[in-house]
A and B are shown apart, each in its own frame.
Chain A
Amino acid sequence: MVIYGIRYVQQIKGEKSMKILVLAKQVPDTDKVKIDPLTGTMIREGLDAVINPLDLHALELALCLKETHRAQITVLSMGPMSTEMVLRDTLALGADRAILLSDSAFAGSDTWATSYTLSEAVKKLNIEYDLVICGEKATDGETGQVGVEFAVLLNLPVITYVSRFVSLQNDSIVVERTVEDAYETWKVRLPALISVLRSVSEPRLPTLSGKKMSLSKKVEIYNARDLGLKNNDLGLTGSPTRVVKVYNTKLSRNCQLYMGKDLNQGIQEVVKILKNYKGSVRR
């Protein structure tokens, strides 16, 4: 079987352009994070919001497909109003349309409520899609569940852990998926959702002209009422899970430092610990 690289696949003239939907989340900018020296926890206040770094790889893949084929990119997110700025950045990078779902009724959503709200918005707003791309997980919650739950609520085929986009054909895509014991190459009929690893693309930087252009574009914002959603299904109320306890495991570490002529003793200490694991069976 011949697998074509995406750049070699030519779009047949006159065919309708592909609709790509990218799911994005805003997260605290962890590059600037500080840690509270007393509790060892992250200080979240005052942190800028940025797009989840993994979602940038998802967007970049969409942008590459747009360059090699005809494609329309919509970015969809749910979050506080500050997400608008983050979505504007995606427009600056080349997304065609950005949609933000924002409402105090959405606050406190767990992965089920988030997926439900996103999937309902797709139905109610008639957002068209052939391919949905999302990052493997967000760097703040690290659950990686919303993409799959969203897809299943829309009965979409799903390929998770996509490490390489191989090709786009008329009504299907070929992608490589990396799992514990293998690289699997899958052919998937569209529409479908893929969740991608970082290796799938190398995100570009925004250009000044892109930023200027994005200022004239509008991020569409919808609330629960716009979507005709009932509060019982939304936010904390609609979430099956509850956080009941948050606690610090403040680990008091008293570092035993070895240096100079004591170094060898330190090395022996380390060897003593590691010896217990030597030759243990690797799965």
Chain B
Amino acid sequence: MIGVVNNQIDKNTLELLGKANQMAVKIQTQVCLFIIGSKELKVDHVKDYADLTVLMLSENFGRFSLYPFLINLEKAILKYRPSILLSPATTFGRTIMPALAARLRTGLTADCTDLDVDDKGNLLQTRPAIGGNVMATIITPNHRPQMATVRPRSFSVQPEKREGRVRIEEITELEDSCELIKIEKREPSAQIDQAQIVVSVGKGLRRKENTQIAEKLAQLVSGAVGATRSVVDAKWFSHDHQVGLSGKTVKPKVYIAAGISGAVQHIAGMQTSEIVIAINKDRYAPIFKVADIGLVADAYSTLEQIVKILEDESDA
């Protein structure tokens, strides 16, 4: 059985079910969706993508707290015994999965960008290794379940349907030493490592105010804004926007490097992007060596022109 774990019904869930489905066909096994979360979650539109959906819902599960989720999920995993267990590499998946792996004494691979199964049923877990374009494939030969967190948008949603059974598990409530005392909603801005398009800015934008044009472009294409280390050091952006060795490794469909010269630390964090577009005044800037399209021009005014054309078209 291939299991998918999530605390909400979202695109990540469907993407993982899509991949689980493909692998389940290959090794002739079932797909099981484990949903643990708020009582309000509705599974009607996703349950048919799995053979079985196991529901662990509670009014206390509106926000994720480790142990109440862990205890209940562990119980379900031990009951249904999936040989593979996947979860999205979100703050939820990146917290619950290591906890489960520790309890089940099994292996876990973080932040995979590709998955497959071999004919022995080994889960081939592929993730970017240090320094950009090196990929590592990892297996968990002797421990079960084989666990992986998967970077959002690594897989597409698949149309194939399955049995669609639903089972509701009884919840074990326990006293939690963590108490949520305040919650402030934030605009779910696209995270750079999850976005399809990343518009990154460097010092070539000259001034902090000029970076607004990059934000505008990112907004138009539902992307996220990335930044170089020097821009983060200059406090134009917070650390979670930083692309590169001491920031995040990104692999979007389109990466735009605006006013970035291309230090090796930065390049290591973006060179596996599918299409790289570089904008820089200096035609000899190293960033052009890892770009598909290079615009030798001022980054700010070029971004402005691109934004204008895109906006004009939407009016037409």
A residues contacting B by CB (< 8 A) are 1, 30-31, 33-35, 40-42, 44, 53, 110-112, 115, 139-146, 148-153, 157-161, 174, 178-189, 192, 197-199, 239-251, 253-260, 263, 266-271, 273-275, 277-283
Contacts and interface: CB of A to CB of B under 8 A. Distances in A.
Given A148-B98, A251-B272, A283-B10, A256 B139 contact: no
A282 B222 contact: yes
B196 A277 contact: yes
A159 B95 CA distance: 9
Interface on chain A toward B: helix, strand, loop, or mixed SS?
A: mixed
Interface extent on B, as a size class?
A: 35 or more
A246 B129 contact: yes
B133 A277 contact: no
Contacts of B78: none
23 contacts: A1-B182, A35-B267, A42-B130, A42-B268, A142-B110, A142-B249, A144-B98, A148-B95, A149-B99, A152-B98, A153-B102, A157-B177, A160-B95, A197-B239, A197-B240, A239-B107, A240-B140, A243-B138, A256-B292, A258-B294, A258-B295, A277-B222, A277-B223
Contacts of B186: 178, 181-183
Nearest to A193: B66
A189 to B, nearest CB: 4
Contact of A110 (B99, B107, B221, B306): B107
B131 A112 contact: no
Contact of A253 (B92, B188, B291, B305): B291
A144 B105 contact: no
A72 B211 CA distance: 43
A184 B180 contact: yes
A182 B184 contact: yes
B91 A160 contact: yes
Given A159-B178, A160-B95, A40 B133 contact: yes
Interface string B280-316: 0001000011111111110000100110011001100
Contacts of B292: 253-256
B130 A140 contact: yes
